[in-house]
Structure 1
């Protein structure tokens, strides 16, 4: 594992840092009507400078760069408080799927505007009856001439209420086993028959949505991949999703260490509490493990190699650690721990935000249990779980009580 930049990487880092220092100042000096407009302005500025979607081909609006250059720019951009969250799902999951499976006309129409931040995408996979089993999808698409008529419901769709387009996985053949009867499409989220309802979250936000489809017509020209071959397309999307969200984020051990240095526990200063100190040591070791695992990924990218399963491992550890740190800090505040006002709480309410967001992070991109199965079966080579539905037609699977 190599922790140092090569000469070329150091040169690129210095160039990226100079560009960021200059452009962040200009960007922050601008006036924007809302956060969305500000985020779009920054995305457009990055695209113009060749720093949006660095690894994508230039003909599709990308930077034509290498994976390690993308990592380096991401590290440098993280030093600044800029919000690119509106585009994470589209550019990290949806548009790569469009680039891999759509025709050239579709890619020409959509990739460039997405890179520039003109249009936002969301991913419609999860359903109320499916839980973590993506292949248990019941939203149905029936062929009608050159169109498909879609009926059903999706849930937990992040950003659907402000997105322009999306990719959707539907069931097109219920007479074969569940993994074999799925098809992927792209669609206009403003199309007739689509209803989007934001879900009120315990954090006070409403980033997740329920989405209903009532006789929504999707042309067959919007299909991504073969009919009934959507599972392979979905796996491509999920692979990108886990890589995109596998790095975690938010508060870490250094933050709760600073908090503990001036906070009191039940029996005196929190930093002198033996149980807390042991937990802090565990978090620190976990964080170092995550950092070294990410460095392993970066080293692989710098050598032109394909990273292994580190994103799945990182997501499990990072999401659970984020929840534990947030919970510990909030509980340490005793009766004051319920106060979430950023003006009155440590780190402007970052610990509360971690407590509220981490449960969702443990579900997004695959639950802890799903990812542990993936690591066990596909990395460690352990026997797979028994699946009684493997060879059963989807329509014959039991439902209800």
Structure 2
């Protein structure tokens, strides 16, 4: 199928099947919106074979070329389709299992991810190991045919609705930094797992802290070899910044268009300072798209992913600030009691985290400085 024919196919399907009440629903800071309905929508996508487009056909995917995967994400965003709820499983864990998992692991978990019948979360960050993932302290001890996991994870997106978590644990006593880590698949619905929501500036709680108190998982649910989890974890992070980023950029463009429309409506677009900032925002988005396309063309991107994170995090954070400036004094007033925010206020407040989550700006700059510019490594304990 040619790309343009594929574009028309997905565009028509979305026009015929997307429920109007789900248009522009969900997303960062708004994951609480219509979650059950969005989960059912995910299953509608699966039944129509619109999930897992890049997977090999032998594993349940469509093995579509990169160009058509890009088209899907762009058209999905242009239609205002709701934020996906199974993105951690489909976008992060599944590619990891396809690359490094055993046939048994693939057979066990890929169907549930494809059909959105099992939800996943990511157990990486800890109170003492945020962007510095190599400082992980959560322990995994082998006890017969099971791993016993004890420790705490934090900032775990959607942990409260997840069935499974892929958890980076330290399984070699006395090991330090990236040595001795293992990548375990752990069921969330068991007595040894406690999930506590973290209330954010937006008043919502899509992030959580997760406590493992001798939680258990099967011995064979380690991806890759025990003690070699760092390599697997880094591969997962690489998948995080893949083709779906183009869809996010379409959403960014729609947000920018909305801010421009607001500026026209309230007259602030006549302010040369505001008009200049809107223009620079447009230019920044074009730069971001060009960099993403260049990165996708690289077979094994390295520092390019760090550059992308730096660029989009700062750009989108700045977009929220620009929205507040265009709104003017009304941006300081909630829309209802007790704490009802509009989309621009949510964008601004949630944006405070965008230069931190997914790899903080400090860490990304260190990666570029050390691996690209050849500067001395930062001293680490």
- Same fold at TM > 0.5: yes
Say if 2:294 is the partner of 1:296: yes
Shift of 1:142: 1.9
CA separation in 2, counterparts of 1:283 and 1:331? Answer: 13
Change (3 A) 1:23 1:132: same
Deviations 1:277-301 (A, max 9, x none): 3323322221121232234356x38
CA separation in 2, counterparts of 1:295 and 1:102? Answer: 28
CA separation in 2, counterparts of 1:279 and 1:227? Answer: 50
Shift of 1:118: 1.0
Change (3 A) 1:9 1:159: same
SS in 1 for 2:196: strand
Report the equivalent of 1:285.
283
Check whether the contact 1:53–1:91 (CA below 8 A) recurs between aligned residues. Answer: yes
Report the equivalent of 1:319.
313
Say if 2:175 is the partner of 1:176: yes
Shift of 1:209: 0.3
Q: Aligned to 1:360, which of 337, 340, 353?
A: 353
Check whether the contact 2:323–2:348 (CA below 8 A) recurs between aligned residues. Answer: no
Check whether the contact 2:169–2:182 (CA below 8 A) recurs between aligned residues. Answer: yes
Shift of 1:332: 4.6
How many correspondences in the alignment? 365
Shift of 1:388: 4.6
Change (3 A) 1:358 1:26: closer
SS in 1 for 2:140: strand
SS in 2 for 1:135: helix
Say if 2:262 is the partner of 1:262: no
Change (3 A) 1:211 1:71: same
Shift of 1:76: 1.2
Change (3 A) 1:129 1:260: same
Check whether the contact 2:245–2:292 (CA below 8 A) recurs between aligned residues. Answer: no
Shift of 1:384: 4.2
Check whether the contact 1:283–1:321 (CA below 8 A) recurs between aligned residues. Answer: yes
Report the equivalent of 2:27.
none
Say if 2:374 is the partner of 1:382: yes
TM-score of the superposed pair, with normalisation by structure 1: 0.82
Report the equivalent of 1:394.
none
SS in 1 for 2:183: strand
Check whether the contact 1:342–1:349 (CA below 8 A) recurs between aligned residues. Answer: no
Say if 2:146 is the partner of 1:147: yes
Change (3 A) 1:296 1:70: same
- The runs of 5 or more residues in structure 2 that have no matched partner are 23-32
Shift of 1:187: 0.9
Q: Aligned to 1:21, which of 11, 15, 22?
A: 15
Shift of 1:175: 2.4
Check whether the contact 2:119–2:164 (CA below 8 A) recurs between aligned residues. Answer: yes
Check whether the contact 1:245–1:315 (CA below 8 A) recurs between aligned residues. Answer: no
Deviations 1:98-137 (A, max 9, x none): 3333322221121111111111100000000113100100
- Answer with 17-26 or 98-107: which moved more: 17-26
Equivalences for residues 222-237 of structure 1 within 5 A: 222-237=221-236
CA separation in 1, counterparts of 2:170 and 2:255? Answer: 41
Report the equivalent of 1:350.
343
Report the equivalent of 1:60.
59
- The runs of 5 or more residues in structure 1 that have no matched partner are 1-6, 29-33, 264-268, 390-401
Report the equivalent of 1:337.
331
SS in 1 for 2:190: coil
SS in 2 for 1:131: coil
